[in-house]
């Protein structure tokens, strides 16, 4: 009888302790605080990404034959297919200010020559990219990942953080920084009863296109970004002078693309511009390369990482190598971001079966015949759903 009483008391105490711990547990993911370092996600955890896609958001940029953006199209002008199956558009708007953006800025010693310029760009991000109803966070990275500013709608905080940028070591963990940015954006601006219209999630990168020593792999990051409906814009910093002065790295850039994706080289000195198609100025099919990386969760020692990331998610890449300043690139990103059409749909499987189609899903967005003449469409190419393990 004594043992029975003791056992009962022990069970009661354990139950009360569990309830206390649950009551203290925070709801939802905890956001990193400014000034904190982010530990890279273990590769084995990244490889186990699975999801059931219930909503696909795709940004769409439409340009005329001269490259000017077109803003007067309506929902009925667009045709959307997912793996060849026509989809019903559930949400449609142009621009929109309900945006969450994570800004990744390289702070390695390699970008010392750019620091005076970068410190002045805060006002461009706050005014041109964020707009009145957006929130933004800032991550700085060299060989470590640091949250410089958590999510805030304060323009003053964004401008102040940029004004105080400092460089660190020479390491360049670009992929780890991208992974941290995607992690911060995951779950932001989700539809709710109070706000049923989904918001936009944007990763904006100012960096060289190289990576040196990250644990994360580019293919895994892009797969996650596609599943989370995150659009990647990037400004490629050209550090040719510091590159010549630095020692050779183990993963020096070498073009890596799947067989058959090389075309004829572009004209010498040309710069990749939005709307120029999926082939960059070196004749590389960026969409084909992105699909290979996403399907096989690979990485690549390639100088085209930022271009591939933008192509894979429906964003845009801006090079500052020739003729374009960092300021003009940010201004162009803001203009495109707030001029894109934003289309959402709930994907229907290829058959009547409710079981989700696993594997790679190709997204196609086109215009009805009477609106398509002379128009060029840029959008995300697709997404990958991992089969259950």
Instruction: Give residue-wise pLDDT tens across range 201-225.
Output: 999 999 998 898 899 999 999 999 9
pLDDT band for position 74 (cuts 50, 70, 90): very high
In this predicted structure, the answer to whether residue 9 has a pLDDT above a threshold of 70 is no
pLDDT at position 218 is 92
Res 294: pLDDT: 86
Where does the pLDDT of residue 31 fall: very low under 50, low under 70, confident under 90, or very high at 90 and above? low
128, pLDDT greater than 80: yes
Nearest CA to 384 among 225, 232, 256, 260? 225
Q: 100 pairs with which residues across the strands?
A: 135, 201
Yes or no: say if 211 and 253 are a contact pair by the CB < 8 Å rule. no
Closest CA to 280 of 262, 298, 295, 294: 262
Question: Higher pLDDT residue, 115 or 246?
Answer: 115
277: CB partners within 8 A, 6+ apart: none
Is 265 a residue whose pLDDT tops 50? no
Q: Does domain 94-340 have CATH number 3.40.50.410?
A: yes
- The pLDDT score that the predictor gives to residue 202 is 95
pLDDT at 149: 96
Residue 123: enclosing H or E segment and its boundaries? helix 122-124
* The pLDDT of residue 24 is above 80: no
Structure confidence at residue 49 (pLDDT): 47
Domains of the chain, by residue range, sit at: 51-86+342-381, 94-340
Side-chain half-sphere exposure of 74, counting CA atoms within 13 A: 2
* Mean pLDDT along residues 321-332: 84
Q: Which of 35-44, 106-115, 286-295 has the highest average model confidence (pLDDT)?
A: 106-115
The pTM (predicted TM-score) of the whole model is 0.77
Cα 308 from Cα 304, distance rounded (Å): 6
pLDDT of residue 263 exceeding 70: no
The two tokens of residue 161 are: 């953080």
Question: Binning pLDDT at 50, 70 and 90, where does residue 352 land?
Answer: low
What end-to-end distance do the CA atoms of the chain give, in Å? 49
E-strand ranges in the chain read 36-38, 56-63, 78-82, 85-86, 89-94, 99-106, 135-141, 145-152, 200-207, 230-236, 317-319, 341-345, 359-367, 376-379, 382-385
Average pLDDT over residues 349-356: 56
Q: Which helix (H) or strand (E) holds 20?
A: helix 2-24
Percentage of the chain lying above the pLDDT 90 cut = 49
Q: CA-to-CA distance for 149 and 127, rounded, in angstroms?
A: 17
Question: Residue 344 is encoded by which pair of tokens?
Answer: 């959402």
Q: What distance in Å separates the CA atoms of residue 272 and residue 155, rounded to the nearest whole number?
A: 30
Q: What is the mean pLDDT of the chain?
A: 78
151-164 pLDDT, tens per residue?
999 999 999 999 99
Mean pLDDT calculated for residue range 258-263: 33
Q: Among 150, 174, 165, 163, which Cα is nearest to 102's?
A: 150
Which burial class, exposed, middle or buried, applies to 270 when counting CB atoms under 10 A from its CB (0-12, 13-18, 19+)? Answer: middle
Contact of 128 with 335, CB cutoff 8 Å:
yes
Residue 245 has pLDDT above 70, yes or no: no
User: Pairing mode, if any, of strands 230-236 and 317-319?
Assistant: parallel
Q: How far apart are CA 29 and CA 183, in angstroms?
A: 10
Summarised one tens digit per residue, pLDDT across range 358-379 is 888 999 999 999 999 999 999 9
């Amino acid at each position: 009888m004594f043992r029975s009483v003791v056992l009962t008391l022990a069970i009661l105490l354990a139950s009360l302790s569990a309830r206390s711990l649950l009551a203290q547990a925070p709801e939802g993911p905890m956001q990193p605080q400014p000034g904190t370092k982010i530990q890279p996600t273990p590769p084995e955890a990244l490889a186990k990404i699975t999801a059931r896609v219930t909503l696909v958001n795709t940004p769409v940029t439409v340009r005329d034959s001269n490259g000017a953006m077109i803003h007067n199209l309506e929902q009925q002008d667009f045709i959307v297919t997912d793996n060849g199956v026509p989809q019903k558009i559930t949400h449609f708007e142009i621009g929109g200010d309900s945006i969450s953006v994570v800004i990744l800025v390289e702070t390695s010693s390699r970008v010392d020559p750019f620091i005076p310029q970068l410190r002045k760009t805060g006002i461009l991000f706050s005014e041109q990219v964020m707009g009145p109803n957006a929130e933004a966070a800032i991550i700085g990275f060299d060989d470590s990942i640091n949250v410089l500013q958590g999510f805030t709608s304060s323009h003053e905080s964004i401008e102040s953080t940029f004004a105080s940028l400092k460089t660190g070591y020479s390491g360049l963990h670009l992929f780890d920084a991208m992974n941290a940015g995607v992690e911060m954006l995951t779950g932001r601006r989700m539809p709710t009863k109070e706000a049923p219209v989904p918001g936009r999630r944007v990763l904006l990168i100012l960096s060289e296109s190289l990576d040196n020593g990250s644990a994360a792999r580019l293919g895994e990051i892009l797969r996650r970004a596609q599943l989370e409906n995150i659009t990647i814009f990037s400004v490629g910093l050209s550090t040719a002078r510091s590159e010549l002065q630095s020692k050779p790295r183990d993963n020096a850039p070498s073009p890596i693309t799947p067989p058959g994706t090389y075309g004829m080289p572009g004209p010498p000195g040309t710069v990749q511009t939005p709307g120029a198609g999926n082939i960059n100025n070196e004749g590389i099919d960026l969409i084909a390369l992105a699909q290979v990386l996403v399907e096989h969760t690979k990485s690549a020692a390639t100088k085209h990482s930022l271009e591939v990331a933008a192509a894979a998610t429906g964003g845009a890449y801006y090079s500052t190598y020739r003729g374009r300043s960092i300021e003009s690139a940010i201004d162009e990103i803001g203009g495109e971001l707030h001029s894109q059409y934003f289309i959402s749909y709930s994907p229907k499987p290829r058959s009547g079966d409710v079981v989700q189609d696993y594997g790679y899903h190709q997204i196609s967005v086109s215009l009805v015949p009477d609106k398509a003449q002379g128009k060029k469409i840029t959008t995300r190419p697709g997404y990958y759903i991992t089969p259950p393990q």
